[in-house]
Amino acid sequence: MKAPTIDAPGQVTTYRDTRIPTWITHTERRADGSLLLWSPAAPAVTQNGFVDFLPHWARLRGDAPAFSQRQPSGGWRTVSWNALWESVKAVAAALLDLDLSPGKPIMVLSGNSIEQAILLLAAEYVGIPTAPVSPAWSTVSQDFSRLKSIAALLEPAAIFVQERQPFERALAALSTSDVQRLPILAVSGASEARCAWDSLISVELTPSRIAALASARAAIQPADILRILFTSGSTGTPKGVPATYAMLKASMAGFAHVFGALAEPQPVFLDWMPWHHTMGGIFALGRMMATGASFYIDDGKPLPGQFERTLRNLRDISPTIFSSAPSALTMLASELERDPELAARLFERLVSFGYGGASLPKDAWARIQRVAERTIGERIGFCTSLGATETNGTGTYFGWPSDDLGTIGVPAPGVQIKLLPLAGGDDRYEICMRGPAIFGGYFKRPDLTAQAFDDEGYLRLGDAVRLVDPADPTRGLRFAGRVVEDFKLTNGTWVRTGAVRLALIAQCSPLVTDAVICGHDHDYVAALAWPNIAACRQLSPELVTLDAAALVRHPVVVSALRERLRAQPATGASTTVKRIMLMAEPPSVDANEIADKGYVNQAACRARRAHLIDELYRAIPAEHVGCM
């Protein structure tokens, strides 16, 4: 029987169960127009954080895989739950032998790895803070300005890298500071023998070391810092965000409540999100610890030339949940359409997709659902949330099957939300949050802390939302862009950057992966955009061998974009994009144009690429500018 199309109005189609529970949302409308939403706290857990789950899963899972990582030879290297627990205790004892203490953190420069997971858990076990920072700030960056400022703020007691060689330039850039004299813990290239990974993980747990572990563990207080994460910089200079043991306990209670039903049989996760980011290092790892999952570290990224690694992994691994950036799911849709074997493997045990960092284009969702229906006769739910580094992996959550794409859900268990009406008459609210998992202030920056909270202790996120149903707030929220990214045209009308960006990407699908919306002090909206190289090359055989620089200016590509602009629905000046120009140069990390999670900083891009905006708005546009 032919699978039903998802576009048919009123079509009844079944979804695979996401196995996520629902919970009550309470609301209160205030006289000033603000609105409160909150969810009761999740049932308390006895565990104080990640590491307290280890003995539980070591006992129940035993030799079942905990973490797995690709080897250079191509196979997977795996550590079991039993081995993970034993390794954590050994490395924790070794850290105490190095005289590391709660006073100063271990700064982590390299990316996700089995060894980094063990180090983070070991440090947590004995009360030593860790501070993972973006590897791009040590490898891609040219001036290391962010790394230097972060090191000066942290005053670390040690540095961890997977391999020292790729970080030599960064370490040399820190040579004028005390950091140069710190022990370098490394799997390859440690500063001294006792800092080498083989030495750390092989420490014998003698009675005296076991006693030292117990003493260090007992000394930990709920307000102690276990992790310092840094904001992505997508909205300014990165700020240090401390996570305390009390905060992580609250987050873990929520994760156990939301994801607990996935624990049996053992779930499988394939995830690339970096652990220096809250959605990777708190949310993804917290979900793993709450469910005793088998976690495959995805060595791919949602970028051209790197997403192929993710596809390779998906051909090996059938995940229970697959989470990534919307741009990755857009690329995945094309691969699933052309590769039935990949689709069959992916949908074998998948209960949901997860995405964040930006809104998911409707076209990508529709294409994936068509393949799912054709492959397994069901749709797959798309789950998402809204949070920030400061919210410790919590915020809103949407985890239920629905055709209503764009909903970010309701307050997660234990989270309280305040919505403040925004000017403009379009029913948007600024969203603010508070709760036991949300941080209390920036690391060594009381000035920034004072600006972050309102007079009731709510954290101001700088994000805008709308109610799914203004008459019934319990139906949830929709993301409506960053408050600071919106601007006015010369006629005084507001351009809601987030909504226009999403509509443009959908209109130009699959030729465009992301866009910068322009128009401040102009009469109409235009856009700079990055091409989907693979999709553009498929427009004509003559494009197959072209590089990005030639592709973005080719008449066939420009013509295809022009046709899509002309097919836009007839709307107002603030929502219609009249010109578009593709860019070959990717967004710059050093210039703060993009964060690791893939979020494009609209304001930073517009400032750095002002000369391109001038070109975009010339009275007589160049031939490589697509116009309506």
Which pLDDT score is estimated for 531? 92
One domain, residues 340 and 266:
yes
Strands 577-582 and 477-482, bridge-based pairing: unpaired
Task: Respond yes or no on whether the N-terminal peptide bond of residue 510 is cis (omega within 30° of 0).
Answer: yes
**Sheet arrangement for strand 577-582:** 512-518, 525-531, 577-582, 626-627
Judging by beta carbons within 10 Å of its beta carbon (0-12, 13-18, 19+), is residue 623 exposed, middle or buried? exposed
As a whole number of angstroms, the distance between CA 120 and CA 341 comes to 37
Strands 416-421 and 429-434, bridge-based pairing: antiparallel
One domain, residues 266 and 399:
yes
Judging by beta carbons within 10 Å of its beta carbon (0-12, 13-18, 19+), is residue 528 exposed, middle or buried? buried
Q: How far does Cα 247 stand from its chain's mean position?
A: 19
Q: Using one digit for the tens of pLDDT, what is the confidence trace for 466-490? A: 999 999 999 999 988 778 778 888 8
| pLDDT over threshold 60, residue 248 | yes
| pLDDT over threshold 50, residue 1 | no
Q: Do residues 564 and 578 make contact, with C-beta atoms less than 8 angstroms apart?
A: no
- Residues 188-216 have a mean pLDDT of 96
As a whole number of angstroms, the distance between CA 617 and CA 489 comes to 13
Domain end marker among 221, 243, 261: 221
| pLDDT over threshold 50, residue 10 | no
Per-residue confidence at 349, pLDDT binned at 50, 70, 90? very high
One domain, residues 408 and 264:
yes
Q: What is the 3-state secondary structure (H, E, C) of 486-501?
A: CEECCCCCEECHHHHH
One domain, residues 471 and 491:
no
CATH of the domain at 427: 3.40.50.12780
Output DSSP code: residue 403: S
Judging by beta carbons within 10 Å of its beta carbon (0-12, 13-18, 19+), is residue 618 exposed, middle or buried? exposed
Residue pointed to by tokens 């990316």: 111
- Residues 228-254 have a mean pLDDT of 86
Q: Is the pTM of this model over 0.75?
A: yes
One domain, residues 459 and 552:
no
One domain, residues 311 and 437:
yes
Q: Using one digit for the tens of pLDDT, what is the confidence trace for 80-113? A: 999 999 999 999 999 999 999 898 899 999 999 9
As a whole number of angstroms, the distance between CA 419 and CA 434 comes to 12
Q: Give me 348's structure tokens.
A: 């074998």
Q: Which domain holds residue 319?
A: 26-45+252-483
First to last CA, the chain: 42
Per-residue confidence at 520, pLDDT binned at 50, 70, 90? confident
448 C-beta neighbours (distance < 10 Å), count: 15
For residue 320, being part of any structural domain is answered with: yes
Which of residues 2 and 309 earns the better pLDDT score?
309
For residue 447, being part of any structural domain is answered with: yes
Give the range with max mean pLDDT: 130-144, 234-248, 474-488. 130-144
Domain end marker among 429, 461, 483: 483
Using DSSP's 3-state secondary structure scheme, residue 66 falls into strand
Give the contacts of 360 (CB within 8 A, at least 6 positions apart).
326, 329, 382, 384, 405, 406
As a whole number of angstroms, the distance between CA 195 and CA 187 comes to 9
One domain, residues 445 and 494:
no
> Which helix or strand (DSSP H or E) is residue 230 part of?
strand 225-230
- Residues 450-473 have a mean pLDDT of 94
Q: What is the number of domains present in the chain?
A: 3
For residue 130, being part of any structural domain is answered with: yes
Output DSSP code: residue 282: I
Q: Give me 429's structure tokens.
A: 């609210």
| pLDDT over threshold 90, residue 502 | no
CATH of the domain at 127: 3.40.50.980
Q: Do residues 247 and 436 make contact, with C-beta atoms less than 8 angstroms apart?
A: yes
User: How much of the chain, in percent, has pLDDT values that exceed 70?
Assistant: 95
Q: What is the DSSP string of 334-370?
A: HHHHH-HHHHHHHTTT--EEEE-SSPPPHHHHHHHHH
As a whole number of angstroms, the distance between CA 51 and CA 184 comes to 24
Which of residues 125 and 235 earns the better pLDDT score?
125
Per-residue confidence at 611, pLDDT binned at 50, 70, 90? very high
One domain, residues 509 and 465:
no
Q: Give me 533's structure tokens.
A: 């190289």
Residue pointed to by tokens 């987030």: 498
CATH of the domain at 539: 3.30.300.30
- Residues 345-354 have a mean pLDDT of 97
> Which helix or strand (DSSP H or E) is residue 197 part of?
helix 197-201
One domain, residues 372 and 463:
yes
- Residues 4-22 have a mean pLDDT of 67
Q: Using one digit for the tens of pLDDT, what is the confidence trace for 533-559? A: 888 999 999 999 999 999 999 999 999
Which of residues 598 and 121 earns the better pLDDT score?
121
Which pLDDT score is estimated for 420? 96
Long-range contacts of range 598-601, CB-CB < 8 Å, 24 or more positions apart? 598/302, 598/325, 598/326, 598/327, 598/357, 598/358, 599/232, 599/234, 599/357, 599/358, 600/234, 600/358, 600/514, 600/516, 601/233, 601/234, 601/235
One domain, residues 502 and 469:
no
Give the contacts of 469 (CB within 8 A, at least 6 positions apart).
475
| pLDDT over threshold 90, residue 443 | yes
Domain end marker among 451, 483, 515: 483
As a whole number of angstroms, the distance between CA 114 and CA 50 comes to 15
Using DSSP's 3-state secondary structure scheme, residue 429 falls into strand
For residue 233, being part of any structural domain is answered with: no
